[in-house]
Amino acid sequence: MTLRQPLFVKYAALILVLAGASLLVSGAIEIYFSDRQHRATLAEVQRDKAAAAASSVSRYVEDLAHQISGATTPALDTAVSDLEKRRIDYLGLLRLAPAITTLRFVDRHGIERIQVSRLDADRMNGKTDLSGDPGFIAARGGRVHFSPIYFFEQTEPYMSIAAPDPSGDGAVTLAEVNLKFIWAVVTEIKVGEQGYAYVVDARGRLVAHPDIHRVLQMTDLSGLPQVRAALAQRDGTGASLESVESAVDPQGQPVFTAHAAIYPLGWHVFVEQPRSEALAPLYASLSRQAIVLLSALGLALIASLLLARSMVSPIRELQSGAQKIGAGNLGHRIQVESGDELQELAEQFNRMGAQLQDSYADLERRIAERTRDLEAANQGKSRFLAAASHDLRQPIHALSLLAGQLRSTGRPEDRNRILNEIEAGIAALGNLFDDLLDISKLEAGAVTAQPEDFAISAILGALNAQFVPEAQEKTLKLKVLPDNARVHSDPVLLQRVLSNFVSNAVRYTGRGGVLVGCRRRGANLQIAVWDTGCGIPEDRREDIFREFVQLDSPDRDRGKGLGLGLAIVARLAPLLGSRVELRSVPGRGSMFAISVPLAEVQDERNAVSSFPPYYEPTQGVPLRGVFAVVVDDDEAARASLQGLLVEWGCLALAARGGTDALAMLAQHDRAPELVICDYHLGNGENGIEAIRRIQAASECSMPAILVTADGGPEVLRTARHHQYPVLLKPVAPAKLRALLAQLLAKGPNGCDKEFHHKAV
């Protein structure tokens, strides 16, 4: 078996591709959406944190501003001057707000009146002119002012807050605030493990950062893309995950960032997370999904292999099973238990195999039967032959004895007697051969019926002519009743049947007579033969139709034939489509009958009321001087016939064939009056052709007789067709003589004139 497995591979690949593709597609979709989801969530979280941080810082600064503007309260103790009071208030504020390094009170003219500081000198009535200070200007107008950030000593981030005095008279408190304190707000903001927040001022300089060292370095982050974007925006919170995809930290690492503006300072707080950390969950999920996908693919592969195998293995079972059955192993049964159409198919195959087995068995049985039958038939045939040859020996034996007798007898009357017996014996032998040939041909199925419309009187007449002499010899009365009916049947076969009936009747009737008559039975004509013989017992009625069975002669009287007559009838009757009827009363007589269909057209023409008289051979038509031609390719037959004719006084020519005959006739100036021709001549010539040629050459249709050893119906039919009488070899001289007399009695046929034969 070749090891191609395309079906398995196909199925496995198909299932795998289907499963794998759907897994991949669903996985990809999953990943895509979860990525977007994750990023959106990240953005939101960071935005929230940024907003929260912004508001924290904003609150811190505003609280400071609030504290600064609310630092002074009206003096309760008039002993203390307003300025002193204010100075004490400022000292209190310094204590409350560690972020404030220096507080100054600037009157509405812009002159510094009080300075209270942690580091710088305290001053009262300092008289410094700060009227140009933008903080003073703004605060005098009533607004809190936040100065831009400046880095004290290049390192510490400071801012000035100018708050209007609550008395509303245009005085201003200026506070210097150390912004390192904002670091606390920013430090608390965490995103994941490595995320953080930082604050930049309006110029992008770092104000607060968890790593305070960066702040102290006056780090300028305005170069970072996210800082640039935020500064450009000026206002609002950035949904920056989308807008600042290129965000990087100062080290250049990509980060996810969100920012929020800090009112009213113009600062921005950034909440950032390294992109690798932010995306880590996503990557983790990705790798998880990849693992799941891979294992799912692996499972799909296994499943596809298993599934394909389970699909393909019944098919393979079928294939190998079919192959085995086809190779002749009919007992092989395909095992498929898949519970589906494939199992049905397997069962079909099995049934087919079983049926084949049965058929073979049946065939073998029939062959055996047929062989047995054939053997039986063969045996039957052998037996038949054995019996036949056995039966035939007897007449030959008798003949040879008679011939011996004849040789030794001198007296003419003895010789005549012996010759008669010899002729009878020959006739009997001829009959026996006829029967044998008939039965063998019927056995071989070589006989078919050729029905035609004809007058039954023809057969009746022949029967009459044939059997009256025999009957007379036995002093039986044979009466053949004429009839005008026309029947539709095979004349040759029918005549055979009736002839057998009559022959039997004559043979087996000792006293009385035989009657042949016709009766109309509906659409059929029944032709019956009655005899007054010994009858047939009830229990022998079937037997008698078998070969070689003769009643009343257990050892078979050879003189009464081989016992084949009724066997032949039994075979002929079905060919004619007719049945044989038998009625018999033992001791009284029997009736054999056969029915044939009547012809549609009953023609009254050619009605025969009686048959021509029978001529005794001894009465004889004078045959002296009859010019006859004998044609037979067999030398002995030719010579003997010629001799017989000469004996009877004819002038007889003996020719081998038509050509030979014409050659001989050319030497005579008379047309022959009679042609006796063998049917099967040499060189493929048949007798009818020869007769024709002679008739043509002689320019007259002289009577012709066909003699033949071929008892088959074909010859008879052909002869009938051409209306030549047929005699079967061995020809009984008496019959020949009678026939000659009949034919010549018809009178001259215009062949007497003298002419010269044509040269042939």
Partner 1 sequence: MKTFSLISLLMLSLGSSPIAWCAAQPGKVYRIGYLMFAPVADTPSPQRAALLRAMERLGYVQGKNLVIEYSSAEANVEMLPDAAAELVEKKPALIFAIGTPTALAAKQVTRTIPIVMFAADAVANGIVASLAKPGGNITGISGAQIKLSPKRLEVLKETVPRASRVAVLYSRVHPSHAQELTAIRLRAAELGLALQPFDVTRVEDLQAAFSRMSARRPDAILVLFDYRTLVYRQLISEFVATNQLPTMFGTRESVDAGGLMSYGSNLEEMFARAASFADRILNGADPSTLPVEQPTRFELVINRRTARALGLRIPEPLLLRANVLIE
Interface contacts to partner 1, rule CB under 8 A: 60, 63, 67, 87-88, 91-92, 94-99, 117-122, 151, 153-156, 178, 180-181, 183-185, 187-188, 190, 194, 196, 210-213, 216-218
From 733, 658, 232, 312, select the one nearest 675 (Cα to Cα): 658
Exposed, middle or buried by CB within 10 Å (0-12, 13-18, 19+), for 749?
middle
User: For tokens 């030959």, what's the residue?
Assistant: 396
Pairwise CA distance, residues 477 & 552, whole Å: 22
Closer residue to partner 1 in complex, CB, 95/411: 95
Least gap, CB of 221 to partner 1 (angstroms): 15
Q: Which region, left, alpha or beta, applies to residue 223 given φ > 0 means left and ψ of -120 to 50 means alpha?
A: alpha
Closer residue to partner 1 in complex, CB, 211/669: 211
Closer residue to partner 1 in complex, CB, 97/580: 97
Answer positive or negative: Cα dihedral of 511, 513, 514, 518.
negative
State whether residue 527 is helix, strand or coil. Answer: strand
Closer residue to partner 1 in complex, CB, 119/636: 119
Pairwise CA distance, residues 735 & 320, whole Å: 78
For the chain, the distance separating the N- and C-terminal CA atoms, rounded to the nearest angstrom, is: 79
DSSP assignment letter at 560: G
Closer residue to partner 1 in complex, CB, 156/633: 156
Closer residue to partner 1 in complex, CB, 121/601: 121
Answer positive or negative: Cα dihedral of 416, 418, 419, 421.
positive
Closer residue to partner 1 in complex, CB, 183/615: 183
Closer residue to partner 1 in complex, CB, 197/688: 197
State whether residue 258 is helix, strand or coil. Answer: strand
Pairwise CA distance, residues 611 & 480, whole Å: 9
Least gap, CB of 232 to partner 1 (angstroms): 28
Closer residue to partner 1 in complex, CB, 1/119: 119
Closer residue to partner 1 in complex, CB, 183/501: 183
Closer residue to partner 1 in complex, CB, 188/452: 188
Closer residue to partner 1 in complex, CB, 63/362: 63
From 434, 424, 376, 377, select the one nearest 398 (Cα to Cα): 424
Closer residue to partner 1 in complex, CB, 151/614: 151
Pairwise CA distance, residues 627 & 687, whole Å: 18
Helix (H), strand (E) at residue 328: none
Which residues fall within 8 angstroms of residue 147, CB to CB, at 6 or more apart? 134, 135, 159, 160, 161, 162
Identity at 627, one-letter amino acid code: F
Pairwise CA distance, residues 221 & 206, whole Å: 7
Least gap, CB of 213 to partner 1 (angstroms): 5
Least gap, CB of 268 to partner 1 (angstroms): 20
State whether residue 453 is helix, strand or coil. Answer: strand
Least gap, CB of 153 to partner 1 (angstroms): 6
Closer residue to partner 1 in complex, CB, 209/638: 209
Pairwise CA distance, residues 557 & 420, whole Å: 19
Structure tokens, 177: 């605030």
Least gap, CB of 166 to partner 1 (angstroms): 18
Provide the β-strand partners of residue 199.
208, 269
Q: Are 525 and 487 in contact (CB under 8 A)?
A: yes
Least gap, CB of 73 to partner 1 (angstroms): 14
Q: Are 68 and 171 in contact (CB under 8 A)?
A: no
If one counts every other C-beta atom within 10 angstroms of the C-beta of residue 120, the result is: 12
Q: Which region, left, alpha or beta, applies to residue 340 given φ > 0 means left and ψ of -120 to 50 means alpha?
A: beta
Which residues fall within 8 angstroms of residue 523, CB to CB, at 6 or more apart? 597, 598
> What is the DSSP pairing of strand 100-106 with strand 513-521?
unpaired
Closer residue to partner 1 in complex, CB, 60/267: 60
Least gap, CB of 133 to partner 1 (angstroms): 22
Closer residue to partner 1 in complex, CB, 212/534: 212
Half-sphere exposure of 177 (CA within 13 A, CB side): 29
Least gap, CB of 104 to partner 1 (angstroms): 16
Least gap, CB of 295 to partner 1 (angstroms): 34
Least gap, CB of 81 to partner 1 (angstroms): 13
Least gap, CB of 312 to partner 1 (angstroms): 58
Provide the β-strand partners of residue 521.
524
Least gap, CB of 109 to partner 1 (angstroms): 24
Q: Are 226 and 254 in contact (CB under 8 A)?
A: no
Closer residue to partner 1 in complex, CB, 188/340: 188
Helix (H), strand (E) at residue 753: none
Least gap, CB of 212 to partner 1 (angstroms): 7
Least gap, CB of 34 to partner 1 (angstroms): 28
What are φ and ψ of residue 738, in 5° steps?
-65, -45
Least gap, CB of 77 to partner 1 (angstroms): 11
Q: Are 63 and 71 in contact (CB under 8 A)?
A: no
Which residues fall within 8 angstroms of residue 178, CB to CB, at 6 or more apart? 99, 100, 101, 152, 156, 157, 158
Least gap, CB of 279 to partner 1 (angstroms): 19
Pairwise CA distance, residues 180 & 187, whole Å: 11
Instruction: Tell me the CA distances in angstroms from 37 to 32, 64, 135, 214, one per residue in order.
Output: 9, 40, 47, 34
